């Protein structure tokens, strides 16, 4: 027969010791070890309960109640501690894994936008604001669209000046060619669309030429406006506005110099003011001029070749080299580097993908 006093004298210290251990437990694993040590099959409180059977029947009830109270006290303390530890663990995890949604997106590792693409986006943003739509045409052209419809007479030296890449001759004696300028898309646009027309045409162009300032493939952007009363004043206003917005310089002087193109009459070349003081090129008022584009009023022959009556309609056109205006704006010294596919160059001169140029948000940031 177990001695009741003997059993119960151990209960209080056991409970006190367990509660102490529970409140000191630093983690869930440790807490579980304490639970097993007190309440598990071979635990200290369970061991006392196992002795109940040998307590005299008249005392067993009271002894059982006291042991049960002890067991409940320890298991409730363990539960409470468990909840507190779990909450602390969750808080710590939430703090550790917190995402600051106001941080800027990390764009550095996802590549760069090539200066040619950036320049096309900027030009499209500027002319888009003025109401121009974007038109496109094929890189492989025929003689009609690239030359004849644009009023280049047969055997005209301008055809030679373009250093054309011809494709092999076909059975009928004609040869396709790689377009030497974006102007054939003027022809394609006028042939399929009735005036009013207001388009810009960015695209690749090809000439058999290669040095510091020429590559066999390069890019141009063409503009075409056809309406009933469009005149040279509109051409000037439109291009001056473009130059100021594109170069982000308000006081840039713009000069229209008489020139010749078969497809425009009158024709002009446009120069912008710059300074080369201290060996550094700066766009804006200065002692020097830089040529940036060709333009003019669309020649009546061209309108006629495209099925538009020159007695009813008139308009202007312009064309410029995209690499050239990119080199001037971004200080890129050598044209050939545009097409070297050198990632270090792209990292240096390229643009962050998320900075899409807009007039409201800024062309370049
Ligand atoms: N097509 C010309 C060239 O490649 C550029 C040009 C000049 C285009 C005058 C035009 C223009 O539309 O009006 O040199």
Report the separation in Å between the CA atom of 267 and the middle of ligand 1, taken as the mean of its atom positions.
Answer: 9
- Closest residue by Cα to atom 3, ligand 1, is 181
Report the separation in Å between the CA atom of 345 and the middle of ligand 1, taken as the mean of its atom positions.
Answer: 30
The overall average pLDDT reported for the chain is: 91
Q: How far apart are CA 230 and CA 45, in angstroms?
A: 101
Rg of the chain over CA atoms, in angstroms?
A: 42
Report the separation in Å between the CA atom of 106 and the middle of ligand 1, taken as the mean of its atom positions.
Answer: 41
Q: Token digits for 232?
A: 């040279």
pLDDT in tens, 318-359: 999 999 999 999 989 889 999 999 999 999 999 988 777 888
pTM check: above 0.75: no
Q: What is the mean pLDDT of residues 8-18?
A: 84
**Res 58: pLDDT:** 81
Closest approach atom of ligand 1 to CA 298: 13
Closest approach atom of ligand 1 to CA 296: 13
Report the separation in Å between the CA atom of 177 and the middle of ligand 1, taken as the mean of its atom positions.
Answer: 18
Residue to mutate (ligand 1; options 183, 235, 269, 322; most atoms within 8 A of CB):
183
- Closest residue by Cα to atom 6, ligand 1, is 319
Which of these ranges, 85-99, 150-164, 187-201, 277-291, has the smallest mean pLDDT?
150-164
**Res 293: pLDDT:** 97
- Residue 294 Cβ inside 6 Å of ligand 1? The answer reads yes
- Residue 321 Cβ inside 6 Å of ligand 1? The answer reads no
Which of these ranges, 3-7, 147-151, 211-215, has the smallest mean pLDDT?
3-7
On the question of a cis peptide bond just before residue 196, with omega within 30 degrees of 0, the verdict is yes
pLDDT in tens, 127-142: 999 999 999 999 999 9
From the list 107, 138, 158, the residue with the least C-alpha distance to 267 is: 158
**Res 6: pLDDT:** 73
Q: How far apart are CA 256 and CA 42, in angstroms?
A: 101
pLDDT in tens, 61-117: 888 888 888 889 899 999 999 999 999 999 999 999 988 888 877 655 678 999 999
- Closest residue by Cα to atom 12, ligand 1, is 318
- Closest residue by Cα to atom 5, ligand 1, is 319
Report the separation in Å between the CA atom of 294 and the middle of ligand 1, taken as the mean of its atom positions.
Answer: 5
Report the separation in Å between the CA atom of 214 and the middle of ligand 1, taken as the mean of its atom positions.
Answer: 16
Look at 148 and 363; give whichever has higher pLDDT: 148
**Res 253: pLDDT:** 94
What is the CA angle 255-261-267, rounded to 5? 35
**Res 228: pLDDT:** 98
Instruction: Considering only the C-alpha atoms of the chain, give the largest distance between any 2 of them, rounded to a whole number of Å.
Output: 130
Decide: 222 and 264 in contact? Cβ < 8 Å: no
Decide: 329 and 242 in contact? Cβ < 8 Å: no
Beta pairing partners, 350: none
From the list 317, 300, 297, 296, the residue with the least C-alpha distance to 308 is: 300
Res 304 pLDDT > 70: yes
- Residue 147 Cβ inside 6 Å of ligand 1? The answer reads no
Look at 227 and 31; give whichever has higher pLDDT: 227
Report the separation in Å between the CA atom of 240 and the middle of ligand 1, taken as the mean of its atom positions.
Answer: 17
Report the separation in Å between the CA atom of 346 and the middle of ligand 1, taken as the mean of its atom positions.
Answer: 29
Sorting pLDDT into bands at 50, 70 and 90, what band is 187? very high
Q: How far apart are CA 139 and CA 141, in angstroms?
A: 6
pLDDT in tens, 236-275: 999 999 999 999 998 899 999 999 999 999 999 999 999 9
**Res 126: pLDDT:** 97
């Amino acid at each position: 027969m177990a001695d009741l006093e003997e059993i119960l004298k151990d209960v209080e210290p056991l409970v006190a010791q367990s509660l102490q251990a529970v409140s000191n437990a630093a983690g869930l694993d440790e807490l579980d070890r304490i639970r097993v040590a007190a309440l598990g099959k071979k635990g200290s409180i369970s061991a006392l309960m196992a002795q109940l059977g040998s307590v005299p029947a008249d005392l067993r009830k009271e002894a059982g109640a006291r042991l049960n109270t002890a067991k409940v006290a320890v298991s409730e303390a363990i539960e409470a501690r468990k909840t507190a530890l779990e909450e602390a663990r969750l808080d710590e995890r939430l703090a550790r894994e917190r995402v600051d949604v106001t941080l800027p997106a990390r764009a550095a590792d996802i590549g760069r936008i090539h200066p040619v693409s950036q320049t096309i986006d900027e030009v499209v943003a500027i002319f888009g604001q003025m109401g121009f739509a974007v038109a496109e045409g094929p890189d492989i052209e025929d003689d009609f669209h690239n030359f004849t419809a644009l009023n280049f007479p047969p055997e005209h030296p301008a055809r030679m000046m373009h250093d054309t890449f011809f494709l092999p001759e076909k059975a009928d004696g004609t040869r396709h060619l790689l377009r030497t300028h974006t102007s054939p898309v003027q022809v394609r646009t006028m042939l399929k669309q009735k005036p009013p027309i207001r388009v810009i045409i960015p695209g690749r162009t090809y000439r058999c030429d290669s040095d510091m300032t020429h590559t066999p493939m390069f890019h141009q952007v063409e503009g075409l406006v056809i309406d009933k009363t469009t005149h040279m004043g509109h051409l000037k206003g439109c291009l001056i506005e473009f130059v100021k917005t594109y170069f982000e310089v308000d006081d840039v002087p713009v000069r229209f110099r008489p020139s010749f193109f078969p497809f425009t009459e009158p024709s002009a070349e446009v120069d912008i003011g710059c300074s080369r003081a201290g060996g550094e090129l700066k766009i804006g008022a200065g002692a020097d001029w830089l040529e940036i584009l060709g333009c003019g009023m669309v020649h009546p022959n061209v309108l006629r070749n495209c099925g538009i009556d020159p007695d009813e309609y008139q308009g202007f056109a312009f064309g410029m080299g995209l690499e050239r205006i990119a080199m001037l704006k971004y200080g890129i010294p050598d044209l050939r580097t545009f097409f070297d596919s050198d990632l270090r160059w792209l990292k240096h001169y390229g643009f962050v993908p998320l900075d899409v140029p807009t007039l409201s948000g800024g062309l370049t940031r």
